[in-house]
Structures are given as C-alpha cells and as structure tokens.
C-alpha cells in the first residue's frame, strides 16, 4: 500500500506542499491530499469497512469528485426522471440500474456492496466488476433514491443512471448464447472423449462387437447437439460466405466438422469404418473458446455504456421572469434562459447573455486552456463554464446539440472504416477451393476404379486435410499475442488489430492528453527582481490559492502558505494581499496598472505568459503550458526507428503544435483541426493507400479514432473514445506503442510460419490419402500433430516480451 507520508492515504496522489489534512486510521496518523479524500476515508471507517484499504492491494483510488448538490440529486426522486432506469418490482420495492464510475478492482465492489446494503431501505445491491454496472433494489417508501445515490458518492464513487440501449441488450444475449454453446461443447467433448477412449482400448482388447456399436450410438447421441447447437455459428457463417462467393475460414471449419460428423454417422448407421465424434467435439470446443475470448475483449470496453450522455448535465436552472427553477435537461426548449454556475457544464447549445466568461472546451476541441467568451457568443453544450455564473439562451435542444452531432459523425466514420485483408482468409479461400476440387476429382477417379471404396477414400481425403492446423494457425497466434499485449498494457478490443498494426504505414497522434499530459503546469519562471524562482513560485501559489481557474492549478504544487484576501478580476487576473503588500498576477496590462508603468517586454515563446507584480514594479513572468509526457520523445524515436513516419493532428493553435512537434522530432504537423477535419485528413490519406494508426483520447478524437484503420485510445480517454477505438493503452506509457507494433509484426511472422506448415502438411498428406494409403488412425495422429506444432509455435509469442 502506498501510504507514505508524501502521498494521500486514500487516492495515493502526491500531497501538495503545505497541505495538512490528517486523520487517525487504525491508530496511525495518515495524511490526505484534500479534505474530500479524508471525508471519504471517514465514511468508510465509520461504516466499519476499513478492510477495504487492505483488500484493494496497490490500486489507486481516484480522487473523489465534487459532490453534486443534494438539490440536484433530488431531481432523481422525480418519477418522470426515474422512469428510464427504475422499474417497480412490487408494491413497495423498486429496482434501479447504475453505471458506477471509479471502480477498478474487486475491493471497490466489496466496499460498495457492503456500504450500500447497510443503508436502511436497501433490499439488495450488487455490482458487476466487468461492466461496472450496479443493480439496486430498495423500498422507495422508506428511503428516496437521491439519498442512496448520495451514499454511493460519499464513499468516492459516482453513480450514473443507466439505460441499456439496443446494442447492449444484444451484447448480453450474444454473451449468454456463446456461454451456452461453450457449455454444450465442453460437456459433450468430455463425455465423447471418455467413450472414445473405451473404443480405442476396445480395439486392443477385443471388445465385443455389440458393445462397440452401443458406444458408438451413445457417442452419436452426445456429439449431435455439439454439432447442431454449439457449432452452429460456423455453419451459419460458412453459408453466408458461400452465398457472397467469398471463401473464409468458416468454410473449411464447417467442412471439417460437417464432414467428419457425416462420416461418423455413416459409420455408426452402417456399422463400418471409423467414428470421429471425439475429434469433432474437441475441435468445436477449442474454436469456440477462441471466439469466446475474442468476444469478451470486444465487449469489455463497450460495457461501461454510453458515457457521452453523462457529459451533458442531467439538470439545469431555468430562469423565468418570476423565478429560478431546476429542471431536467430534456425539458429545455430553444428560447429558454438558463443559469449556469461556474464549474458546471453548459446544458445545450446556446448564446451567452452575460458580459464575459471563459469556457473549458477541452471535451470538444482538446484545447486545455479555457476560451474566453463575450456577450452574444455561441456556447456549445457539454463544455464547462469556468469563471462565473452566466445566463444563456438555449438555441437547440440537448439532443440536437453539437456533442450529439459528433456521435452521428461517429456512426458514419465506422461505416467507412477500411477493411483489413486477413491473410488466413485469403489463404483459406484458395485452400478450400483446392480441397473441394481435389476431393471431387479423387471421388470421380475412385468411382471408375472401385465404386465401393470411393466414399471412404473421399472422406479420408476430407478428414486428412481437415483444416484444423490451418484454422488454428491464426487464432492461436492472435490469442497468444493479445495476451502478451495485455501484459504489456495494451488492451486489444477488435480482432483485426494485430494484422492492421503490422501493416500500418504511418502513425498519427493527437496532441493534448496523448503526447502531453493534458494538465496545465508551470513551465518556466523568469524573475524580474532579486527574489529566487522558488520564492516567486510560492508567492504566486499563495495568491492563486483561492482561485478556481484552471491556471491556478498549475501553481498548486508550490503551495506553502495562503493569501489573506484575494479578488478575482474576470478575464484579467487575481489580486491578493500578503503582509499588507498587494500583489497582482495575470495579464500584463492588468498587473501594470497596479504600479502604473508600461508592462515589461513580453518574452518570446508559446503557451500563456502571466505577469506578477506589486506596487513597486513587476516581479516575474510565468510561462504556463501543457507538459509533454516524459516518455513521448523516446516513443516517437522508437516508432521512427521501425521505419514509420510520425505525425500529429491537433485542434490546438499553430504555435503550440509546432513547439511540441519540434521537441519530439515529428515531421508532419497539422493544427487547428476540428473533429471533422481530422477525420477528413485521415480518410484522404487512407484513400491514397496509407494505413494509418491513430492515437487519441478526447471526445474530439472519437470520429477520427473510428475512421482510422487502426486506433488506440489512451487510458484516460472518455469511455466513448475507448469504445470507438480498436485498442486501449491501459499502461498510459507511450513506449508501449512501438512495442506493440513490433509485437504485431512478430505475430504476423508466426502466422505465416503456421500457415506454411499447415499447407506443407496438407500437400504431403493429400496425395497419400487420395491414393488410399492412409489409414484413419494415421490421419488422426497427423491431424493432432500438425495442430500441436501450430499451437506450440504460437505460444512462442507469449515469451517474447
């Protein structure tokens, strides 16, 4: 556990200098980074759940977010707002579904379940660790929903009402179906294997004929549901592929399963020849397992639900001539006037009615610095009001707001995504054609020579060329590689990622939040007086300590003492006094007015420059900027060493983009791009034959992430960005990207080796089988051996970390 004195006991973030928030935990004095963290710990301890801190291992808890006001939560007690996510179980019990933000390990689940079930009125509360969904059953007469939501918030998690959409319901059905199929195949496999071993041994120990027959019949009974129920998806896919005249891997798989099953049924009914029920069930089971894991990975990121909806606030304060009224956002109509407090998000697109404010548009543009807005300017729904309470007039309803239009763009981009040609499918189509052709030719020839053997020889051709090795060649290599990548910190969520990564011809990054940390930090202090840099930083931190503005957070690491009183001048800066001396920090002109001269010459450079001064003159310049991730330079170098050009697409201003690019050695930079522009650029390059890997994080990157051939979302990305990308960089270390690229190339090599081996095996076995030299037991051994070699080769990928 990381509870050294310099990091917070609850959230493990470093404690800023001078912050002294303590609480006695288990007899020991522990330090916290903020009162919110202490409050959470107090609640946890108060409910006797201190075990949480032991259970959670090394997991870091997120810093608790600002607690929504009771008044706002009380909206959820309203029947009409509850209706989408709450249903009545019986007269007095109701059931609500939430997506809980802030869960990362089983200890969180434990904590939540324990804490909530202890509340009065709660009948049951269960949390799903995989999809972060919680189901709450409570007696609504006894306790309003808002109080239970407050209980979740009080231990540091945020509940979002969850309304399953159509897609999620489908996911659930798909998962259940896959699980049932896997169960049937697994049970069937074990049963049939048991009976088959009896048959194998029976051959050696002269088992009586009637018993052998009986066992064959029972194997037939058990294997039939495996083929007709568990293996159904393969047959359906094969049928679809045949209809579209495109031979995929499902075709040989179906032929293998169907052929071997048909041969066994024939053998059972006519009491002649060999049965292959065991191979059929085992083959089905292994292929289903591979598909199952692929499906799990695909669902994992989609599970947390449509989180974009959460950016739009659930309630807004509508202002009418007579009164202010808290209303649900869905009830806002164009023409309504609303009041937005600082720190709250804008409910829908509209026009500013107040003189001035600044808006954090980072969700939309990725730009970390707030943008200043004047009376009459357009405001975009979902962005955050930073400076002061504003009044605005709504121009379009929440559903039609710009954020929602990005979602529409997403749908379009996904449809246009270039398809990745899978080698296995390409090889398979030739292979299948060849096998079918050979089988036909062989049966025709044997029909001429000896009609009675024709059926058996044809079948042995089909069985010996059973494309087990070929169809296992790709999935096993992919499963092994995906496992290794996951250990490295890259969670792959789409099947095509490894192949498209290996073929990728250019890598493009978003800037803010991807190459940079996305947080404002103090880059440089230029003293204009005799004081040391450190003294100046501390002084600035003291003056800014009362400010809510995001710029103030850049100074918080230097915080040691507080200002006596401070005044915010909207859009200009902060004034504060320390030991009777008045200081100002902010725009140069604003500071210069304090001492009455011209401001000093503005230093060269990018980012924001703030001046600090007192009555007697200027004291220092502060350059505030978004910092590069420490490993970004190395990551870019490694990608370039792999022979891939690196580019940057950003919504940020030209100068900032150029500075970052030259620091990193990035050759291709495009700045001031809207989300639509980014998508158009990437599409244009893809039309020119480039294969783009795009890495991004924000809402503004969502269209481009879904439109690029391959895309990786940063771990800090919004859930929607994660869902629309092909992989998620969980470790937040950019160096994993070149690592994944080389892993993808290695995987590609292994797949090629596997396919070559499988083809070679078939080339040797096919003529032998066609000429009638191969006994069924030899075919079985050959089949298993070639599959084992393929699997062993694929496992090499797990060692190359």
Partner 1 sequence: MEIIYLLIPVAIILVAFATWAFFYSVNSGQFDDLESPAHRILYDDDEDMIPEDARVKKESDAPSTEITKD
Site string for partner 1, 149-178 (x = CB under 8 A): -----------------------x--xx--
Considering the rule CB under 8 A, would residue 47 count as an interface residue with partner 1?
A: no
Q: Among residues 260 and 491, whose Cβ is nearest to partner 1?
A: 491
Q: Among residues 172 and 676, whose Cβ is nearest to partner 1?
A: 172
Considering the rule CB under 8 A, would residue 45 count as an interface residue with partner 1?
A: no
Q: Among residues 103 and 253, whose Cβ is nearest to partner 1?
A: 103
Choosing from 11, 44, 136, 215, the residue that interacts with partner 1 (CB under 8 A) is 215
| Bridging pattern class, strands 608-614 and 581-586 | antiparallel
What whole-number distance in Å separates Cα of residue 364 and Cα of residue 512? 12
User: Among 155-163, 209-217, 556-564, 786-794, which window interacts with partner 1 (CB under 8 A)?
Assistant: 209-217
Considering the rule CB under 8 A, would residue 183 count as an interface residue with partner 1?
A: yes
Which SS3 state, helix, strand or coil, does residue 493 take?
A: coil
Q: For residue 664, what are the CA distances in angstroms to 53, 579, 604, 649? A: 40, 44, 20, 14
- Nearest residue to 160 via CA among 137, 136, 187: 136
- Structure token pair of residue 534: 């450190």
Query: 712 has which bridge partners?
Result: 695, 727
Query: 566 has which bridge partners?
Result: 576
Q: How far is the CB of 207 from partner 1 (least distance, A)?
A: 8
Choosing from 200, 214, 561, 569, the residue that interacts with partner 1 (CB under 8 A) is 214
Q: Among residues 319 and 730, whose Cβ is nearest to partner 1?
A: 730
Q: For residue 776, what are the CA distances in angstroms to 274, 779, 782? A: 7, 5, 10
For the chain, the first-to-last Cα distance in angstroms comes to: 27
**Residues between 729 and 758 that touch partner 1 (CB under 8 A):** 730
What whole-number distance in Å separates Cα of residue 391 and Cα of residue 764? 80
Contact 375, 354 (CB under 8 A): yes
Choosing from 16, 18, 55, 331, the residue that interacts with partner 1 (CB under 8 A) is 55
Q: Among residues 210 and 245, whose Cβ is nearest to partner 1?
A: 210
Choosing from 129, 433, 760, 801, the residue that interacts with partner 1 (CB under 8 A) is 129
Considering the rule CB under 8 A, would residue 105 count as an interface residue with partner 1?
A: yes
Considering the rule CB under 8 A, would residue 184 count as an interface residue with partner 1?
A: yes
Contact 636, 738 (CB under 8 A): no
Considering the rule CB under 8 A, would residue 57 count as an interface residue with partner 1?
A: yes
Considering the rule CB under 8 A, would residue 798 count as an interface residue with partner 1?
A: no
- Structure token pair of residue 393: 């007039």
Which SS3 state, helix, strand or coil, does residue 555 take?
A: coil
Count of C-beta atoms within a 10 Å radius of residue 426: 13
Considering the rule CB under 8 A, would residue 147 count as an interface residue with partner 1?
A: no
Q: Which residue has the tokens 């140069």?
A: 588
**Residues between 613 and 632 that touch partner 1 (CB under 8 A):** none
Buried (b) or exposed (e) across 217-232, using 16+ Cβ within 10 A? eebbebbeebbeebbe
Q: For residue 267, what are the CA distances in angstroms to 27, 273, 326? A: 76, 5, 76
What whole-number distance in Å separates Cα of residue 35 and Cα of residue 20? 9
> Which residues lie below 8 Å from residue 766, measured CB to CB, with a gap of 6+?
435, 438, 461, 464, 465
User: Among 122-130, 467-475, 554-562, 570-578, which window interacts with partner 1 (CB under 8 A)?
Assistant: 122-130
- Nearest residue to 179 via CA among 272, 288, 313: 288
Q: Among residues 53 and 761, whose Cβ is nearest to partner 1?
A: 53
Choosing from 67, 74, 106, 380, the residue that interacts with partner 1 (CB under 8 A) is 106
Considering the rule CB under 8 A, would residue 39 count as an interface residue with partner 1?
A: no
Considering the rule CB under 8 A, would residue 88 count as an interface residue with partner 1?
A: no
Contact 273, 267 (CB under 8 A): yes
**How many chain residues touch partner 1 (CB under 8 A)?**
39
Q: How far is the CB of 106 from partner 1 (least distance, A)?
A: 3
HSE (side-chain half, CA atoms, 13 Å) at 123: 15
Choosing from 208, 321, 565, 688, the residue that interacts with partner 1 (CB under 8 A) is 208
Choosing from 218, 396, 503, 742, the residue that interacts with partner 1 (CB under 8 A) is 218
Strand order in the sheet with 490-492: 490-492, 727-729, 710-714, 692-696, 506-509, 646-649, 668-670
Choosing from 195, 260, 563, 699, the residue that interacts with partner 1 (CB under 8 A) is 195
Q: Among residues 129 and 449, whose Cβ is nearest to partner 1?
A: 129
Contact 312, 332 (CB under 8 A): no
User: Among 215-223, 499-507, 628-636, 738-746, which window interacts with partner 1 (CB under 8 A)?
Assistant: 215-223
Choosing from 93, 139, 300, 402, the residue that interacts with partner 1 (CB under 8 A) is 300
Q: How far is the CB of 54 from partner 1 (least distance, A)?
A: 5
Q: Among residues 24 and 452, whose Cβ is nearest to partner 1?
A: 24
Choosing from 2, 4, 29, 54, the residue that interacts with partner 1 (CB under 8 A) is 54
Q: How far is the CB of 699 from partner 1 (least distance, A)?
A: 24
Using left for φ > 0, alpha for ψ between -120 and 50, and beta otherwise, residue 382 falls in left
| Bridging pattern class, strands 692-696 and 506-509 | parallel
Considering the rule CB under 8 A, would residue 128 count as an interface residue with partner 1?
A: yes
What whole-number distance in Å separates Cα of residue 650 and Cα of residue 511? 6
Contact 155, 109 (CB under 8 A): no
Q: Among residues 55 and 291, whose Cβ is nearest to partner 1?
A: 55
Q: How far is the CB of 105 from partner 1 (least distance, A)?
A: 5
Q: Among residues 106 and 570, whose Cβ is nearest to partner 1?
A: 106
Q: How far is the CB of 195 from partner 1 (least distance, A)?
A: 8
Considering the rule CB under 8 A, would residue 123 count as an interface residue with partner 1?
A: no
Q: How far is the CB of 232 from partner 1 (least distance, A)?
A: 15
Q: In this structure, is the dihedral angle defined by the CA atoms of residues 508, 509, 510 and 511, taken in order, positive or negative?
A: negative
Q: What are phi and psi of 26, to 5 degrees?
A: 55, 40
Site string for partner 1, 322-361 (x = CB under 8 A): ----------------------------------------
**Residues between 691 and 730 that touch partner 1 (CB under 8 A):** 730
Considering the rule CB under 8 A, would residue 201 count as an interface residue with partner 1?
A: no
What whole-number distance in Å separates Cα of residue 583 and Cα of residue 564? 11
Considering the rule CB under 8 A, would residue 454 count as an interface residue with partner 1?
A: no
User: Among 102-110, 247-255, 268-276, 278-286, which window interacts with partner 1 (CB under 8 A)?
Assistant: 102-110
302, containing H or E segment: helix 277-302
Q: Among residues 1 and 375, whose Cβ is nearest to partner 1?
A: 1
Q: How far is the CB of 12 from partner 1 (least distance, A)?
A: 14
Contact 126, 94 (CB under 8 A): no
What whole-number distance in Å separates Cα of residue 716 and Cα of residue 719? 9
Count of C-beta atoms within a 10 Å radius of residue 687: 9
Q: What is the dihedral of CA 453, 456, 461, 463, to 10 degrees?
A: -170
Considering the rule CB under 8 A, would residue 12 count as an interface residue with partner 1?
A: no
Considering the rule CB under 8 A, would residue 801 count as an interface residue with partner 1?
A: no
Considering the rule CB under 8 A, would residue 110 count as an interface residue with partner 1?
A: yes
Choosing from 89, 170, 179, 781, the residue that interacts with partner 1 (CB under 8 A) is 179
- Nearest residue to 706 via CA among 485, 441, 416, 471: 416
Q: Among residues 556 and 731, whose Cβ is nearest to partner 1?
A: 731
Choosing from 88, 180, 341, 602, the residue that interacts with partner 1 (CB under 8 A) is 180
Strand order in the sheet with 384-385: 371-374, 356-360, 384-385
Considering the rule CB under 8 A, would residue 490 count as an interface residue with partner 1?
A: no
Q: Which residues bind partner 1 (CB under 8 A)?
A: 1, 51, 54-59, 104-107, 109-110, 114, 127-131, 172, 175-176, 179-180, 183-184, 187, 191, 195, 208, 211, 214-215, 218, 221-222, 300, 730
């Amino acid at each position: 556990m990381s509870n050294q004195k310099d990091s917070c006991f609850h959230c493990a973030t470093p404690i800023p200098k001078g912050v002294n928030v303590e609480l006695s935990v288990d007899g020991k004095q522990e330090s916290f980074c903020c009162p919110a963290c202490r409050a959470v710990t107090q609640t946890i301890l108060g409910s006797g759940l201190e075990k949480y801190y032991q259970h959670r291992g090394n997991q870091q808890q997120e810093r608790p977010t600002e607690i929504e006001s009771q008044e706002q939560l009380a909206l959820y007690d309203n029947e009409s707002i509850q209706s989408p996510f709450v249903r009545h179980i019986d007269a007095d019990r109701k059931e609500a579904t939430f997506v809980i933000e802030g869960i990362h390990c089983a200890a969180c689940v434990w904590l939540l379940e324990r804490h909530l079930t202890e509340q009065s009125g709660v009948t049951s509360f269960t949390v799903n660790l995989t999809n972060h969904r919680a189901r709450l059953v409570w007696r609504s007469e006894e306790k309003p929903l808002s109080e239970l939501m407050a209980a979740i918030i009080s231990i540091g998690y945020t509940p979002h009402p969850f309304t399953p959409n159509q897609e999620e319901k489908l996911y659930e059905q798909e998962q259940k179906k896959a699980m049932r199929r896997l169960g049937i195949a697994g049970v069937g496999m074990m049963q049939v294997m048991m009976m088959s071993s009896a048959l194998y041994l029976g051959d050696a120990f002269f088992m009586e004929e009637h018993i052998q027959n009986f066992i064959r019949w029972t194997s037939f009974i058990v294997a039939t549901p495996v083929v007709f129920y568990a293996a159904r998806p393969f047959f359906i896919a094969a049928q679809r592929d045949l209809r579209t005249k495109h031979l995929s891997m499902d075709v040989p798989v179906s032929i293998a399963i169907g052929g071997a099953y048909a041969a066994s049924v024939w053998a059972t009914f006519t009491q002649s020849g060999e049965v292959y029920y065991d191979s059929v069930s085992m083959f089905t089971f292994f292929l289903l397992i591979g598909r199952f894991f692929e499906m799990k990975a695909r669902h994992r990121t989609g599970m947390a639900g449509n989180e974009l909806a959460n950016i739009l606030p659930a309630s807004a304060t509508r202002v009418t001539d007579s009164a202010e009224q808290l209303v649900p956002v869905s009830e806002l109509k164009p023409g309504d006037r609303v009041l937005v407090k600082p720190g709250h998000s804008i409910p829908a697109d509209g026009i500013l009615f107040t003189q001035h404010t600044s808006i954090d548009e980072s969700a939309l543009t990725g730009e970390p610095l707030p943008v200043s807005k004047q009376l009459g300017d357009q405001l975009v729904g979902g962005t955050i009001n930073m400076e002061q309470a504003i009044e605005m007039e709504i121009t379009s309803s929440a559903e039609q707001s710009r954020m929602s239009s990005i979602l529409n763009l997403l749908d379009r981009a996904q449809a246009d995504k270039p398809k990745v040609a899978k080698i296995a499918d390409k090889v398979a189509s030739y292979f299948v054609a060849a096998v079918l052709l050979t089988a036909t030719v062989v049966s025709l020839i044997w029909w001429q020579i000896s009609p009675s053997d024709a059926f058996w020889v044809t079948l042995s051709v089909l069985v010996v060329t059973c494309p087990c090795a070929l169809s296992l060649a790709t999935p096993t290599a992919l499963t092994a590689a995906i496992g290794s990548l996951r250990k490295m910190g890259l969670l792959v969520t789409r099947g095509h990622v490894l192949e498209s990564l290996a073929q990728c011809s250019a890598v493009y990054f978003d800037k803010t939040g991807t190459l940079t940390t996305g947080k404002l930090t103090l880059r440089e202090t230029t003293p204009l007086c005799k004081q040391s840099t450190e003294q100046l930083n501390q002084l600035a931190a003291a003056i800014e300590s009362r400010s809510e503005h995001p710029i103030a957070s850049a100074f918080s690491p230097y915080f040691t003492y507080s200002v006596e009183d401070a005044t915010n001048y909207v859009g200009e800066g902060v004034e504060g006094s320390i030991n009777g001396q008045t200081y100002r920090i902010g725009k140069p002109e604003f500071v210069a007015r304090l001492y009455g001269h011209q401001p000093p010459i503005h230093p060269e450079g990018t980012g924001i420059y703030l001046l600090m001064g007192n009555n007697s003159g200027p004291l220092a310049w502060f350059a505030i900027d978004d910092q590069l991730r420490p490993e970004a330079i190395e990551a870019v170098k490694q990608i370039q060493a792999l022979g891939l050009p690196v580019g940057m697409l950003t919504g940020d201003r030209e100068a900032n983009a150029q500075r970052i690019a030259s620091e990193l050695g990035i050759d291709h930079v495009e700045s001031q791009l809207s989300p639509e522009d980014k998508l158009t650029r990437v599409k244009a390059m893809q039309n020119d034959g480039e294969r783009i890997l795009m890495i991004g994080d924000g809402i503004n990157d969502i269209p481009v992430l879904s439109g690029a051939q391959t895309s990786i979302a940063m771990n800090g990305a919004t859930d929607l960005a994660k869902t629309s990308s092909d992989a998620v960089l969980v470790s937040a270390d950019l160096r994993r990207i070149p690592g994944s690229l080389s892993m993808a190339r290695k995987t590609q090599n292994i797949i090629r080796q596997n396919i070559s081996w499988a083809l070679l095996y078939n080339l040797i076995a096919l003529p032998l089988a066609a000429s009638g030299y191969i006994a069924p037991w030899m075919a079985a051994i050959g089949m298993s051996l070639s599959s084992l070699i393929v699997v062993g080769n694929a496992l090499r990928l797990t060692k190359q970390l």
